[in-house]
Structure 1
Amino acid sequence: MAVPESPGTRFFTVAQSSTGSWSFIDPEGKPFVSLGVNHIDDSDLRYPHNVDVWNERYGSRQKWEQGVVADLQSLNFNTIGWTSQYISGGWGEALDWFGDPVDLGHSHPWPDRDLLEAGMPYVVQLRVQEIEDWNGHPAYRDVYGEDFAKYADWLARRMTSDHKDSSNLIGYFLVDIPGWLPHAAGQFWPGFDGLSTQEHDAKLYDVAQQYYKTITEAIRRYDPNHLNLGDRYNGNKGIPEAVLRAMTDYVDVLSVQYFTGKSPEEYATMIGDLRNWQQLTGKPVLIADIGNWVSTAMNPHRTSDMETHEERGQDYANGLATIMQEPWIIGWHWCGYIENLGRGWGIKDPQDNFYTDMTDPMRAANAAAQTTIADR
């Protein structure tokens, strides 16, 4: 086994073996690949079209969360991923971070107590800056100012207080697809207008380093034991080299969102991009958001290079097996859980039933990935 077991530390860590293979190491000291589902939110069953399902099947958030855990475990997932969900609908066909900015309402993450009581590995979100690529009204706040330092300290103090002793917490994510490249809304940190490429990159490195330094020191001040999973970068849009160089002294895992088609060529492009960023940072990679979709009765406009849920399941199995051959990839988190009007895809339909043509191969693929991480 390339990544040896260790005596355990009570907390999740990351480790690299003498052969170069990376892995999460769980609190018992065993190699762990994080297989998560993102956007798990009860709002998906509280729309007019399906609130009766909520009332009849669950009736309380506690009972629903028990159902979530049972669903994940039945499919051999082992992580509760990023739990905020798009709820406003009307996203249309445009990719918001390439075209006009979209004002998408989103739900709040799971409450701390709910994550702690779920009884399985999970992540916690720290929204350090409101600069997401999907955010139609980003706010680039001065990373050098006293206000940001005080906010980062409060955010870390608040968000670690319930989780710092948890053996199920994998680590803390920062911002979801932050706008480190020019934002579709036109905003950016001040002082970048008119700079040469060299000047721009130098200034961006300095801003990013201050950003990561401030929040990481705040997190470690109150919780020195858990991983900093960093920003969930937008791999499809690209990641500036200056930002990646700035994060290396502060972040433990390179977390990247990346959506790709089903062809081997598209997967090769994704892996090539991830490999370049991994080699630049020297960090293991968590694919923090990835997914696929097809046209459905509720979302007929959601077309892709797949037409059936069986194709989605085969793509899932092929994709996961492909990325698990890379010794520096240590997990992937799938988008998403229940199909709704905003996101338009999921592993369950709007009536809370699995798309079994997809989830049957998904179950087997997850089991195989957990064997692969142990045998690398």
Structure 2
Amino acid sequence: MQASARPASPLSPLRRGLGAALLLASPFFPLLPARAALDAFGQPVAGAWPGKVATEAELRADIGADRAYHDALASRARPTLDAFGGLPGSGAKLGLAANGFFHTEKKGNRWLLVDPLGNAYFHLGVCGVAIGDTYTVTKGREGDFAWLPPADGADRYPSAWREGNPGVFSFYLANEIRKFDHPHDPAEFEVRMIDWLRQWGFNAIGAFSPLPPAVQAQAMPYVAHLPLDPGTAGIPALPGIPGAWDPFEAANRERIDRSFAKSVAARRDDPLLVGWFLANEPLYEDLPKVIPALKADHACKRELVAFLREKYGTLAAFNAAWGMAAPSFDALGDTALPASTRAAFDDLHAFTGRFEEAYYRLVAETFHRYDSRHLLLGSRFQPGTINDEQLCRIAGKYVDVMSFNYYTDAVDGDLLKRIAGWAGKPLLLSEFYWASDADSGLSGGRSVSSQRERGLAYRNYVEQAAALGCVVGVEWFQLIDEAASGRWFEGPGGERANCGLLGVTGRPYKEALAPMIETNDAIYAVWLDGKKPFAFDNPRFSTAGGDTKTTTAPRATGPVRVDGTTKNWPGIPPEIVPASRLVQGVVVNGQTFAATFKLCWDDANLYLLADVTDPTPMRNGYGQKGAALWLGDGLEIFLGTEEVGAGGPLRFTDRHLLVGATGPGKAAVHFAGRTAEQQTPVEAVVVPGGSGCTIEAAIPWAALGLASPPRPGIEFRFDLGVNDSADGRNRRAQLMWNGTDKNSGDRTRWGRLKLLP
């Protein structure tokens, strides 16, 4: 599931950055009901789908079935690859260097990743080649499971319990034990999985994978993570920004040096190591919100105060620019600084660049003291982070590859080329997947309607990206489905997505894998030889036909009451947001989800009235949690009043308004990405209707940063998203009038709104 906002990529930030405390009773993965929600094989009791296991005999029979399946794959016609998975002869043909390690080269307008033998290598990785996410917490909720072995291990399942974590169990491992009739053998598991990955056409072990000796023995390329987290390096995170730490703190410089001397230097000579990730989804876009609120005991806050003192010189000049009445510059250290003026916004943007420069320079210089042979693979940014020219230009000076956790349906080539151009470096699309709830029994993720559609989505994504010339690899998340009762380290509300290439019973998703294998086999023809990339014939997966639509808002004919009626509204036909404008999720067969809307205005407000056709209307349980309103039924309104002709990241005055259909009566509203102090009251109502509901909102011009009413003829950037939830806690589908599900972090695809007299 992905919001159109930066709450924009919920599965991604939740994955490893927020911690279990935030994930208990997570809205993305609701708590399972008590009483035997899972069967003895760890599958949801409810539902039936092809491949659901009923007996141990079926598991044992899978040994022969798996062997036959992979033997057939091994005999197929496929390209010959070199020892690292690169294309033999391509180095000589393209004039590439062989230096014994992975590196990048640019030939003409095309970026290339080059393997140690000097051949072109398109990185086809799988994250999480491990069993970690198959563990789930059983202690204290034993009634949720139809079967559990004795917790003391007095049977054949002791190796299915997580060592050092009592009450944490893996049904995947239990099924493996049933199948092979012996305890889990990590080395045997790794050898088998690496063999299967190669049969499926993958050529690398991706992020979040342990690296046992089997990886070296099987000579599979892999990636690693720099030891920059509290657990490995003792570096404290900045409060409120997972994955970020203070580069101005002298003690952190010493910690990094000690950590790299121990861990980085040890792998300096390994040719199988593609490179090192610096971080996972650090939310640097939150730096301008978090650092000003810190106390002076944080070095970055002291650095910010010094920056402001240097820029303004006098306290009077600073107070005038920031709209403050600070008694002294020294007092700013322990004062929360509000960014309520454009000057403050610009200053914090500039200081964020100073922070990022210090961070990347420190990491790169320290890294190269201990390893000058391997690649720095970037920070696995989310869309809302990476769509920032300043950040990309700074990071691009120090990393070799920009990694991007790009969860999307339609591949936006313009966006990817823009990022690569800003950074001057190639891209690795380092995390993505699709899930099919209907034939896996799991929930969560970017849903499609079948396992085959998962594979077709992969084909579309990988081939469209490879054809751009700026993408040098991808990493699918992940090898095995997450536990159906929630990943263990996030508690009962943890992720439980059908993200795997294998299910909990160890069965490969063959319907998904078939299209994936086609793409993996064809990747060099697409990447190097100009073969036309596969295009999924589904409008959700295409950016074609993305013309910019313009709607109009006439002036109201009289006073407008926000009551869901059109009294004193001009007599204009509504705009239509049809079911075909689905940009996120799935719509249940036989149900209709669509909307119409119209706009008008007066000197006080812009009015929007939407009629939503929804078989399960007004289901939104986030009335008290405004920032999460997008998870339930409601609207997302996007408005931009400046630089109307420019796309890219959001501007200072852009607004993203969430209107939650929390029930009949007053609607809940929230401006996304703005602090509590920056929220502006918006009157909005929800009125039940025959096939759904009507939602009306009056948005004050002042809330859009306009000091006076606009003039007729003026144009704004505008878009409207419509969200659908079946349970009030999880968004099931999203429609968008003109743009995409990336609207919250990128205004490029927003439409236009013109005010009429």
| C-alpha contact (below 8 Å) 2:434/2:445 kept by paired residues | no
Picking from 392, 400, 404, the partner of 1:252 is: 400
CA distance in 1, matches of 2:203, 2:187: 19
Picking from 357, 368, 371, the partner of 2:522 is: 368
Deviation of residue 114 (structure 1)?
5.4
> Counterpart of 1:233 in structure 2: which amino acid?
F
> Counterpart of 2:395 in structure 1: which amino acid?
M
The answer for the alignment partner of 2:271 in structure 1 is 167
**Deviation by residue 1:271-295 (Cα, 9 ceiling, x = unmatched):** 3222211111111111111111110
The answer for the alignment partner of 1:194 in structure 2 is 338
CA distance in 1, matches of 2:445, 2:365: 44
Q: After alignment, is 338-347 or 297-306 more displaced?
A: 297-306
The answer for the alignment partner of 1:359 in structure 2 is 513
CA gap of 1:219–1:364, structure 2 versus 1, over 3 A, is same
**Does residue 1:55 correspond to 2:166, yes or no?**
no
| C-alpha contact (below 8 Å) 1:205/1:245 kept by paired residues | no
CA distance in 2, matches of 1:203, 1:79: 38
SS at match of 1:14: strand
The answer for the alignment partner of 1:90 in structure 2 is none
> Counterpart of 2:216 in structure 1: which amino acid?
L
Q: After alignment, is 141-150 or 171-180 more displaced?
A: 141-150
The answer for the alignment partner of 1:178 in structure 2 is 282
The answer for the alignment partner of 1:346 in structure 2 is 500
CA gap of 1:330–1:28, structure 2 versus 1, over 3 A, is same
Picking from 189, 210, 215, the partner of 1:110 is: 210
Picking from 96, 102, 112, the partner of 1:6 is: 96
Picking from 14, 21, 33, the partner of 2:122 is: 33
| C-alpha contact (below 8 Å) 1:176/1:233 kept by paired residues | yes
CA distance in 2, matches of 1:117, 1:181: 41
Q: How many residues align?
A: 341
Deviation of residue 116 (structure 1)?
3.4
Deviation of residue 72 (structure 1)?
1.0
Deviation of residue 298 (structure 1)?
6.1
The answer for the alignment partner of 1:20 in structure 2 is 109
Q: After alignment, is 135-144 or 291-300 more displaced?
A: 135-144
The answer for the alignment partner of 2:189 in structure 1 is 64
CA distance in 2, matches of 1:180, 1:200: 12
| C-alpha contact (below 8 Å) 1:321/1:365 kept by paired residues | yes
CA gap of 1:237–1:296, structure 2 versus 1, over 3 A, is farther
**Deviation by residue 1:103-151 (Cα, 9 ceiling, x = unmatched):** xxxxxx51475543441111011253569x9x98837532112211112
| C-alpha contact (below 8 Å) 1:42/1:61 kept by paired residues | no
| C-alpha contact (below 8 Å) 1:127/1:175 kept by paired residues | no
Name the structure, 1 or 2, with higher relative contact order (CA <8 Å, separation 6+): 1
**Deviation by residue 1:353-374 (Cα, 9 ceiling, x = unmatched):** 1100000111111111133334
**Deviation by residue 1:71-91 (Cα, 9 ceiling, x = unmatched):** 2101110010002xxxxxxxx
Larger Rg computed on CA atoms: 2
Gaps of 5+ in 2: 1-89, 135-159, 161-168, 292-299, 306-336, 484-494, 531-757
> Counterpart of 2:423 in structure 1: which amino acid?
T
Picking from 219, 226, 239, the partner of 1:119 is: 219
| RMSD between aligned residues | 2.8
CA distance in 2, matches of 1:294, 1:157: 44
> Counterpart of 2:224 in structure 1: which amino acid?
V
SS at match of 1:224: coil
CA distance in 2, matches of 1:137, 1:328: 29
> Counterpart of 1:267 in structure 2: which amino acid?
V
Deviation of residue 36 (structure 1)?
0.3
Deviation of residue 28 (structure 1)?
0.6
**Deviation by residue 1:313-355 (Cα, 9 ceiling, x = unmatched):** 1111122111111011111111111001334121111111110
Picking from 194, 198, 202, the partner of 1:77 is: 202
Q: After alignment, is 319-328 or 111-120 more displaced?
A: 111-120
CA distance in 2, matches of 1:136, 1:110: 28
1:186-265 aligned at under 5 Å gives the runs: 187-188=290-291, 190=301, 191=304, 193-195=337-339, 196-236=344-384, 238-261=386-409
SS at match of 2:407: coil
SS at match of 2:416: helix
Deviation of residue 156 (structure 1)?
1.9
> Counterpart of 2:175 in structure 1: which amino acid?
V
CA gap of 1:223–1:324, structure 2 versus 1, over 3 A, is same
| C-alpha contact (below 8 Å) 1:208/1:247 kept by paired residues | yes
| C-alpha contact (below 8 Å) 1:140/1:187 kept by paired residues | no
CA distance in 2, matches of 1:128, 1:48: 29
Deviation of residue 239 (structure 1)?
3.7
The answer for the alignment partner of 1:335 in structure 2 is 477
| C-alpha contact (below 8 Å) 1:233/1:255 kept by paired residues | yes
**Does residue 1:319 correspond to 2:450, yes or no?**
no
Gaps of 5+ in 1: 84-108
SS at match of 2:360: helix
**Does residue 1:43 correspond to 2:135, yes or no?**
no
Deviation of residue 236 (structure 1)?
5.0
The normalised TM-score by structure 2 is 0.42
**Does residue 1:141 correspond to 2:245, yes or no?**
yes
CA gap of 1:303–1:324, structure 2 versus 1, over 3 A, is closer
> Counterpart of 2:382 in structure 1: which amino acid?
N
Deviation of residue 243 (structure 1)?
1.9
SS at match of 1:123: strand
Deviation of residue 197 (structure 1)?
2.1
**Does residue 1:285 correspond to 2:405, yes or no?**
no
> Counterpart of 1:13 in structure 2: which amino acid?
H
